[in-house]
Amino acid sequence: MWNSPAEFFAMGGYALYVWSSFGVCALVLLLEPFVIRARFKTIVLRLKQECLAEQFDRESSK
């Protein structure tokens, strides 16, 4: 169906519309997991620090 890569990227003259749709779609779907990963790391870090603080409290009150 495609005779050359250039023809593929030209999308029969619809390059702007096809690649803008697929591009933004890919961008959103790829960024989303990274945003969630960052949120997850933030909460884990906070929990770790809280645990550490409690441990210090216990040790210093001995």
Partner 1 sequence: MNSVNNPSFSNNRLINWFKLSSPSTFYPVAGKLIPIFWLLTAVFGVAGLWVSFFVAPVDAVQGQGYRIIFIHVPASWMSMFIYLVMAAWAGLGLIFNTRLSAMMAQALAPIGAWMAFLSLWTGAFWGKPMWGTWWVWDARLTSELILLFLYLGFIALQASIDNVRRADKAGAILALVGVVNIPIIYFSVKWWNTLHQGASVSLTKSPAMAQTMLWGMLLMALCFWMYSIAVGLMRVRAIILEREAHTDWVRQLDEVKN
CB 59, min distance to partner 1, A: 16
CB of 12 to partner 1, least distance (A): 3
**Residue 6 or 29 with smaller CB distance to partner 1:** 29
Establish if 40 lies at the interface with partner 1 (CB under 8 A). yes
Using CA atoms, how far apart are residues 19 and 1, in angstroms rounded to an integer? Answer: 18
Number of neighbours of residue 19 by Cβ within 10 angstroms: 13
DSSP notation for 12-29: GGTHHHHHHHHHHHHHHH
| Binding residues vs partner 1 (CB under 8 A) | 1-2, 8, 11-14, 16-18, 20-22, 24-25, 28-29, 32-33, 36-37, 39-40, 43-44, 46-48, 50-51
